[in-house]
Amino acid sequence: DSEGIDIMLGVCANGLLIYRDRLRINRFAWPKILKISYKRSNFYIKIRPGE
């Protein structure tokens, strides 16, 4: 993450899951994801604006 702490990215049928120290810290459903990209070891997720 931006603080230099390792995080893990999980992929499932419902969307993407973000884990830190084996604890889920965020979840992104597929309909809300606009774009997924990566550069070297960095992943970027662009999300639809919230309602």
Q: Which domains does the chain have, with CATH numbers?
A: 8-47 (2.30.29.30)
Give the angle 25-27-29 at the CA atoms, nearest 5°: 175
Sign (positive or negative) of CA dihedral 9, 11, 15, 19: negative
pLDDT digits (tens, 9 = 90+) for 1-51: 677 788 999 999 999 999 999 999 999 999 999 999 999 888 899 999 976
Residue 51: predicted pLDDT: 64
Residue 43: predicted pLDDT: 84
